[in-house]
């Protein structure tokens, strides 16, 4: 029998949960182990006839929970429970069917194919990343460099016997590798527990549990801390829109639609073979926002990349749902929109310095605008339109690029509509789409030349950057989630030179403030020569906050060298080369570089001064001023 004091305490916590205001509900729901080997179990199952916990501690025999009146929460205190014990909840629904269910708040699960929760001790990790967190709070991320290395932990590296690396082993190799190449952040594809490897983690089982594939929760905390001590941020993909199909997971948790929509058509996500969360339900909001808060607060993540936002914004986004409309007569998912706004407001109120990133594939307006202005409140949005158009352009035979130049220039129209991250992500190098290297036209030399030019274009274009693992050296094979990257490629001279190029390019990005400090300000971009489709060349200037601090970018998208290529600049004076993509050090053909340029007072393309350079065939130049005349 629950005591009166405990009853009152649980009733108060349940009220907040049931009204969508419990943003750290992981603090009381789930299993909580105390020092005296007594565990407290609390679970939300409002329509269940009975709930029991079964596990190693009771020989998998029912230990019944007591329902807290008018809350939908069931409670039990149980003795002789130890860390490492496996358990599940046995739930009898309104139809008298008894089903073993996972603990939605479990912080660890057993290794697949099993899906029992694991009793875990409270977090006792003594964090040492205070300097990192302090710098994060004091800095404005929009005005800082952000160069993200996207990683799938299961296929970055594996042991010779094809077994997974542990979190500790990954930390020992991934962190110095990312540091050496000059990336600022690691973005992990979902590391929340999931059963199906082929889902890459996007069909999640545990919303508070790191996957057991690579170790324990505490091992993951140590990985994050080591990243921070190396001055590398950690972002993780998170999926609040839909959950795993399995009947012993969240689906019809208490025998009725609990986490998913009551309407079976809205609940069923046909495209991904999953169930859609009922984002308008207060308890689901408490659950999901608590999940986000857990990863950001308890695990010290620097940001969440929210997957499949479009699926939460539109009623008709999924197959077979054409024609669904809301009370206003349009196709917007009003409760989905309100949930995303509430999510971002809640997270930023508690942690204004963490990054909330939307993977949103439509042209929905205001994804990164404030909620007060009617926006969704995200910090950044992946620019999928830029990504698709850029890749389509570079996949073309260069002879056709002059007729399709709009694929590049169209992005100038909307580049400041949102705060964008420019991604070359995992989605573009899988399922027969080919690797970035394989997409490039021509023989092997020309493929590398195109890849270097495209990566320089990514670096120079306004917006933060993201590249998927393996692209740094131009892996030819398409990504395979079931095996490690083709590290053997680095024994090849051209792949090794491409890897050196990536490091050089990333170092330039980090060192040159104009390339990142005004990414989202129109003043950060000066259009010099962006409409020369006939020659398939382009030039523009990235302007820093200081008037005389800028970087000139010039591109040649065809294999025809352009001698005496004139580039307009704001000042006459002396300029120097930052990088030439055709430098022989990086696999190009130039053995002798033009390293210095003198701009005179010849006006060109709206600029008062200009200089000439030889623009390499299928190549790019980055140039900066070193001594400017008064002007």
Residues catalogued as catalytic: 307, 359
DSSP 27: G
Q: Which residues pair with 607 in a beta bridge?
A: 604
Q: Please, which residues have CB within 8 angstroms of residue 116's CB and are 6 or more apart in sequence?
A: 55, 86, 87, 88, 102, 109, 110
Tokens of 583: 């430098």
**Of 590, 599, 539, 538, which Cα lies nearest the Cα of 570?**
599
How far apart, in whole angstroms, are the C-alpha atoms of residue 581 and residue 502? 10
**Of 400, 462, 402, 471, which Cα lies nearest the Cα of 435?**
471
How far apart, in whole angstroms, are the C-alpha atoms of residue 156 and residue 230? 19
Q: Is 329 left (phi over 0), alpha (psi -120 to 50) or beta?
A: left
Tokens of 183: 């990336």
| Residue 495 dihedral angles phi and psi, to the nearest 5° | -65, -40
| 3 state DSSP class of 504 | helix
How far apart, in whole angstroms, are the C-alpha atoms of residue 454 and residue 435? 14
Residue 620 contacts residue 452 (beta carbons within 8 Å): yes
How far apart, in whole angstroms, are the C-alpha atoms of residue 222 and residue 126? 10
How far apart, in whole angstroms, are the C-alpha atoms of residue 226 and residue 232? 9
How would DSSP label each residue in 578-593? EEETTBGGGT-SBSS-
Q: Is 35 left (phi over 0), alpha (psi -120 to 50) or beta?
A: alpha
**Of 621, 264, 89, 103, which Cα lies nearest the Cα of 611?**
621
The number of beta carbons lying within 10 Å of the beta carbon of residue 94 is 11
Residue 65 contacts residue 51 (beta carbons within 8 Å): yes
73, 75, 255 from 95: Cα distances, Å: 19, 22, 7
Residue 621 contacts residue 613 (beta carbons within 8 Å): yes
Residues 456-492: b if buried by 16+ CB within 10 A, e if exposed = bbbbbbbbbbbbbbbbbbbbbebbeeeebbbeebeee
Burial (CB count <10 Å: 0-12, 13-18, 19+), residue 438:
middle
Residue 357 contacts residue 187 (beta carbons within 8 Å): no
């Amino acid at each position: 029998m629950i005591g009166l004091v405990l009853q009152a305490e649980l009733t108060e916590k349940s009220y907040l949960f049931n009204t969508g205001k419990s943003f750290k509900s992981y603090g009381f729901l789930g299993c909580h182990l105390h020092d005296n080997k007594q565990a407290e179990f609390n679970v939300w199952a409002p329509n269940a006839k009975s709930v029991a916990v079964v596990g190693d501690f009771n020989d998998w025999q029912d230990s019944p929970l007591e329902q807290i009146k008018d809350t939908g929460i069931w409670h039990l205190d149980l003795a002789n429970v130890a860390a490492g014990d496996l358990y599940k909840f046995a739930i009898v629904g309104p139809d008298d069917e008894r089903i073993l269910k996972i603990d939605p708040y479990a912080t660890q699960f057993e290794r697949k194919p099993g899906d029992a929760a694991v009793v875990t001790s409270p977090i006792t990790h003594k964090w040492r990343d205070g300097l990192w967190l302090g710098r994060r709070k004091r800095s404005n991320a929009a005005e800082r460099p952000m160069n993200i290395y996207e990683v799938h932990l299961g296929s970055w590296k594996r042991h010779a016997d094809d077994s997974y690396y542990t979190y500790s082993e990954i930390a020992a190799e991934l962190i110095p590798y990312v540091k050496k190449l000059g990336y600022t952040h690691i973005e992990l594809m979902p590391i929340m527990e999931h059963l199906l490897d082929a889902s890459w983690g996007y069909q999640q089982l545990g919303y508070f549990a790191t996957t057991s594939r690579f170790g324990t929760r505490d091992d993951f905390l140590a990985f994050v801390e080591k990243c921070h001590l190396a001055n590398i941020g950690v972002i993780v993909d998170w999926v609040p829109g839909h959950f795993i199909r399995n009947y012993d997971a969240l689906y019809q948790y208490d025998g009725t639609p609990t986490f998913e929509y009551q309407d079976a058509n809205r609940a069923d996500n046909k495209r991904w073979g999953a169930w859609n969360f009922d984002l308008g339900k207060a308890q689901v909001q408490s659950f999901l926002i608590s999940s986000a808060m857990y990863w950001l607060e308890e695990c010290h993540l620097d940001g969440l990349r929210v997957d499949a936002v479009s699926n939460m914004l539109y009623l008709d986004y999924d197959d077979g749902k054409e024609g669904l409309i809301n009370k206003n007569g349009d196709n917007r998912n009003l409760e989905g929109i309100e949930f995303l706004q509430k999510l971002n407001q809640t997270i930023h109120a508690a942690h204004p310095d963490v990054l909330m990133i939307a993977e949103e594939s439509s042209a929905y307006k205001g994804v990164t605008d404030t909620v007060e202005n009617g926006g969704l409140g995200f910090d950044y949005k992946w620019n999928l339109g830029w990504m698709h158009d850029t890749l389509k352009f570079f996949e073309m035979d260069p002879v056709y690029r002059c007729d399709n130049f709009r694929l590049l220039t169209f992005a100038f129209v909307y580049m400041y509509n949102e705060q964008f991250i420019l991604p070359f992500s995992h989605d573009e190098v899988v399922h027969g789409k080919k690797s970035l290297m394989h997409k490039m036209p021509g023989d092997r030399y020309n493929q590398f030349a195109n890849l270097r030019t495209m990566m320089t274009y990514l670096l120079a274009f306004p917006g933060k950057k993201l590249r998927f693992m393996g692209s740094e050296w131009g892996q030819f094979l398409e990504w395979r989630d079931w095996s490690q990257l083709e590290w053997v490629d680095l024994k090849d001279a051209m792949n090794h030179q491409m890897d050196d190029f990536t490091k050089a390019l990333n170092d330039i990005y980090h060192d040159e403030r104009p390339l990142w400090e005004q990414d989202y300000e129109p003043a950060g971009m000066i259009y010099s020569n962006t409409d020369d489709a006939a020659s398939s060349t382009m030039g523009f200037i990235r302007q820093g906050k200081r008037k005389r601090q800028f970087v000139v970018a010039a591109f040649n998208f065809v294999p025809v060298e352009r001698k005496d290529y004139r580039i307009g600049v704001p000042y006459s004076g002396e300029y120097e080369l930052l990088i030439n993509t055709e430098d022989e050090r990086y696999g190009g053909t130039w053995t002798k570089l033009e390293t210095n340029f003198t701009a005179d007072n010849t006006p060109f393309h709206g600029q008062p001064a200009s200089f000439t350079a030889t623009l390499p065939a299928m190549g790019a130049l980055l140039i900066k001023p070193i001594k400017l005349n008064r002007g």
